[in-house]
Amino acid sequence: MKRRGDRGGIRSAVRVELILLLALCCAAVCRELTDRWRDPALQGGGAAWTAGEREAVEVTADGDYIKWVEFNVTCEAMAAAYDLDVGSYGQKVHLNWIELLAYAGAKTGGKFDSGSVRKINEAAEKLQSGEATMKELTEDMEYYDYYLEAYTAVLGGMVGEFSLKEEDTWKEYYGLKAFSPIAKGFDYSHYDDFGASRNYGYARPHLGHDMMGQIGTPIIAIESGVVEALGWNQYGGWRIGIRSFDGRRYYYYAHLRQNYPYAEGLEEGSVVTAGDVIGYMGHTGYSTKENVNNIETVHLHWGLQLIFDESQKEGNNEIWVDCYELTKFLYRNRSEAAKVEGTKEWRRTREMADPEAEKHCKNNGAMIQ
């Protein structure tokens, strides 16, 4: 009787365990089905969303500011969207390059590949033919607004109207008014090093893009803006921080030349125009002592920080994006500089007037550098 009773107890325990195991399996299946139902890849084709993407989208959906951005747009996609934008300027349907990129990003969860240009061109054809509006094309894309806001934060000040001085005449243009950070005619090498490990001071990822070149190479302002930081930083050496007029982008240029890092007259509060020479390449940094060359390789480190809320400017919530593809795209617009005789200075050879810079100066009583 005792042994038979033990067997009965064992059978009961096994049944309970089997029931619990079945319940756990059902719960797992339910979660998987729920995740698949929420997956944009199954709502129109494309890659699955990562946890970071969902979190970033969620903080936008509830009216909060964006806390995370991963910029994976390829040079080819930017070039295709940009050419469509400029090519349609002044036409009945003026295509917006950032909207086209956001459309492609929303279809694929922010992942760009060889098929992205095709998606951009197909959308452009529908828009220009009148078959659909961008609102109609994206009405079923739950995360289009997120990508539009994120990509606008990255690219918002780079295309628009501007004027160039040709001899004694100013001529108006529409197009790319952002520049490569290296002056025209100066060689450099680079590769995608975003996220690579760094260990000076403490272990950390590389949150910028390095462009290797020669000491004294003129460094160019990528976008018009206000000099927000200037001076020594033990990590970046002599560095410059420039904020875009809309406040969304902070451009960081580091490791500038020993003894003569900056363009003459540059100071905190200066308003610079895209294409201006702002400093010179070097290898300063990695020292608490000022003006020290402790970086082994001569290069420019430039970084792009996105700021959706001022609390993100400094601290643990900073958003830095990979600039490798953007650097490749900006190669199409390089500012030419000429040496100022008898000095160490270089100056741009072609003056540009940016309406946004003029507007900022008028509203704030400032002067362009």
pLDDT in tens, 199-223: 776 777 888 999 999 999 999 999 9
- Both 169 and 258 in a single domain? yes
Residue 231 CA to residue 234 CA, distance in Å, equals 10
The stretch 289-309 carries a mean pLDDT of 97
CB 203 within 8 A of CB 191: no
- Both 289 and 351 in a single domain? yes
User: How many domains does the chain fold into?
Assistant: 2
- Both 195 and 336 in a single domain? yes
Nearest by Cα to 284 from 343, 227, 240, 339 = 240
* Res. 27: pLDDT tops 50: no
Q: Indicate the residue among 134, 155, 176 that finishes a domain.
A: 155
Is residue 136 domain-resident? Answer: yes
Question: Tokens 């009148």 sit at which residue?
Answer: 130
Q: Indicate the residue among 155, 178, 213 that finishes a domain.
A: 155
Task: Please give the pLDDT value at position 180.
Answer: 98
Nearest by Cα to 240 from 251, 314, 225 = 251
Instruction: Name every residue whose Cβ is closer than 8 Å to that of residue 18 and which is 6 or more positions away in sequence.
Output: none
- Both 138 and 191 in a single domain? no
The stretch 95-104 carries a mean pLDDT of 98
**Lowest pLDDT segment from 96-105, 310-319, 347-356:** 310-319
CB 219 within 8 A of CB 256: yes
CA torsion 307-312-316-317 (nearest 10°) is -60
* Res. 339: pLDDT tops 60: yes
Q: What is the mean pLDDT of the chain?
A: 86
Strands (E), 144-222: 159-166, 169-176, 197-198, 204-205, 209-212, 218-220
Is residue 245 domain-resident? Answer: yes
Residue 115 CA to residue 92 CA, distance in Å, equals 27
CB 105 within 8 A of CB 147: yes
- Both 199 and 148 in a single domain? no
Is residue 37 domain-resident? Answer: no
The stretch 73-96 carries a mean pLDDT of 98
pTM given for the model: 0.84
Task: Please give the pLDDT value at position 277.
Answer: 98
- Both 141 and 282 in a single domain? no
The number of beta carbons lying within 10 Å of the beta carbon of residue 5 is 9
Is residue 337 domain-resident? Answer: yes
Task: Please give the pLDDT value at position 53.
Answer: 53
- Both 221 and 353 in a single domain? yes
Task: Please give the pLDDT value at position 48.
Answer: 40
How far does Cα 38 stand from its chain's mean position? Answer: 27
* Res. 31: pLDDT tops 60: no
Is residue 118 domain-resident? Answer: yes
- Both 187 and 150 in a single domain? no
* Res. 126: pLDDT tops 50: yes
Task: Please give the pLDDT value at position 196.
Answer: 82
Give the model's confidence band at 271: pLDDT under 50 very low, under 70 low, under 90 confident, else very high: very high
- Both 114 and 203 in a single domain? no
Task: Please give the pLDDT value at position 18.
Answer: 47
- Both 246 and 110 in a single domain? no
Residue type, 368: I
- Both 218 and 294 in a single domain? yes
The string over 193-211, giving b where at least 16 C-beta atoms fall within 10 Å of a residue's C-beta and e elsewhere, is: ebeeeeeeeeeeeebbbbb
Q: Which residue range(s) make up the domain with 344? A: 165-364
Is residue 261 domain-resident? Answer: yes
Q: State pLDDT tens for residues 32-80.
A: 333 332 233 222 333 344 544 555 555 554 558 999 999 999 999 999 9
Is residue 9 domain-resident? Answer: no
CB 73 within 8 A of CB 81: no
Is residue 129 domain-resident? Answer: yes
* Res. 332: pLDDT tops 70: yes
Strands (E), 181-257: 197-198, 204-205, 209-212, 218-220, 225-233, 237-243, 249-254
CB 186 within 8 A of CB 213: yes
Task: Please give the pLDDT value at position 365.
Answer: 84
Question: What CATH number is associated with residue 314?
Answer: 2.70.70.10
Q: Indicate the residue among 105, 120, 155 that finishes a domain.
A: 155
Task: Please give the pLDDT value at position 59.
Answer: 56
Residue 244 CA to residue 242 CA, distance in Å, equals 7
- Both 92 and 230 in a single domain? no
Question: Tokens 């702002």 sit at which residue?
Answer: 278
* Res. 330: pLDDT tops 70: yes
